[in-house]
Amino acid sequence: MTAAVIDPARLRRDFPILTERVNGHPLVYLDSAATSQKPEAVLDAVLDYYRSANANVHRGVHALAERATDIFEGARLRVAGFVGADPRGVVFVRNTTEGLNLVARAFAEPRWGPGDRIVVTEMEHHSNFVPWQMLCDRRGCELAVAPLGEDGRLDQVQLERLLAPPTRLLAVSHVSNVLGTVTDIAGLSRMAHREGVFVCVDGAQAVPRVPVDVAGLGADFYAFSGHKMLGPTGIGVLWGRPELLEAMPPFLGGGSMIEVVTPERTTWNEIPHKFEAGTPDIAGAAGLTAAVAYLEAVGMPQVQAHEAMLTHYAYEVVGDAGDVTVYGPPAADRSGVLSFNLQGVHPHDVGTILDRHGVAVRAGHHCCQPLMRRLGVAATVRASFALYNTVEEVDALGQALGDVRRVFGA
């Protein structure tokens, strides 16, 4: 275990909820892959919008409307800078799920049908699996699933085979929400583009954990959620190459996404507004700006190194006992996530006993049922880390697992 590269004890003072006690114990929050906790700056930004700038955007010439529009469009610029994107390609959505559905509906559905293939992978969250399955059902496309190797990484030989014609699109996670596997998106994008295949990336688990530069990654679409990166729930981002967004029809119809409406026809607003029908989550955008500012102040390389250190240490703490199966690649090749099972104990029982000790983990299939089948289990226990977690919290997880063994005689 290497020395910490950030001071989580100092950062923890910025997160009010981390002072909570659960069942008489200090809260040990190890469920950041589901949703991260929020620093005071994010909470203040949301409240400040409602207190001092509550108005609709793009529609008014009064002071509050202009203030709200500045907040909203300022968030777009800040997010674009954070992920190395052209702001014209930054579309605000509710979450990663909506962003991926937007791509399936507005980009893929008008283009492909019988004889075309969509490739997903065995490690995909349902958000990057089900929309493509639904598309194939509607349009008669073929859905192919790229397998994982025994090490929890993508089988490159099989994947390269699947990228040959008639494949049109590859949908892949940057970081697996179950295994923590980090995918080489830049390499996959080069491989796919050689075959004329588009690449759509679920970046929900990557943006909070590793530096992301969408231009350098080379993907065509990249989606992520605010609530997993210290921001509020209800706001997310789809980045798409502007030339692709220009050619796509709108996803939803209504206010803001139009240019001119007549009884005969409607013309569309310029991108990205063409995909932002109705009143957006302006308060969420204010909070997302504050979240990005917080992460930038800490430094994403430092966040990545800290979480890698915690993951490596947890891999040792949890895996030391012979009665634990840890799923996925070695600790050095994963980011922020550790999924495991205790022999003879159901994951839900493990999670319940850990909660008695104030340790919050996730137990279940993690919206990855195809992956669970690949692993040969119905569910796993998942501990996931963030910049505010400490080595002592990993020790608390290990001690609580000792109580699980005692209770169940494992």
**Catalytic residue among 141, 200, 367, 368, which?**
367
Pairing of β 337-342 and β 359-360: unpaired
Spatial separation of the C-alpha atoms in residues 252 and 264, rounded to whole Å: 19
Residue-by-residue DSSP string for 105-123? IIIITTT--TT-EEEEETT
Give φ, ψ of 21 to 5 degrees: -115, 140
* Residues pairing with 222 in the sheet: 201, 239
Give φ, ψ of 305 to 5 degrees: -65, -40
- Residue 58 in 3-state DSSP? coil
Spacing of C-alpha 359 from chain mean position: 22
Helix axes 391-408, 347-356, angle to 10 degrees: 120
Residue 367 catalytic? yes
Q: What is the DSSP letter of 359?
A: E
Are 96 and 103 contacting, i.e. CB atoms less than 8 angstroms apart? no
Are 85 and 215 contacting, i.e. CB atoms less than 8 angstroms apart? yes
Spatial separation of the C-alpha atoms in residues 94 and 103, rounded to whole Å: 14
Q: What is the largest CA-CA distance in the chain?
A: 73
Spacing of C-alpha 317 from chain mean position: 26
Tokens at 353, concatenated: 């006993």
Spatial separation of the C-alpha atoms in residues 324 and 318, rounded to whole Å: 7
- Identify the CA nearest to 233 among candidates 303, 283, 298: 283
* Residues pairing with 342 in the sheet: 324
Are 291 and 78 contacting, i.e. CB atoms less than 8 angstroms apart? no
Q: What is the DSSP letter of 248?
A: S
Instruction: State the catalytic residues.
Output: 367
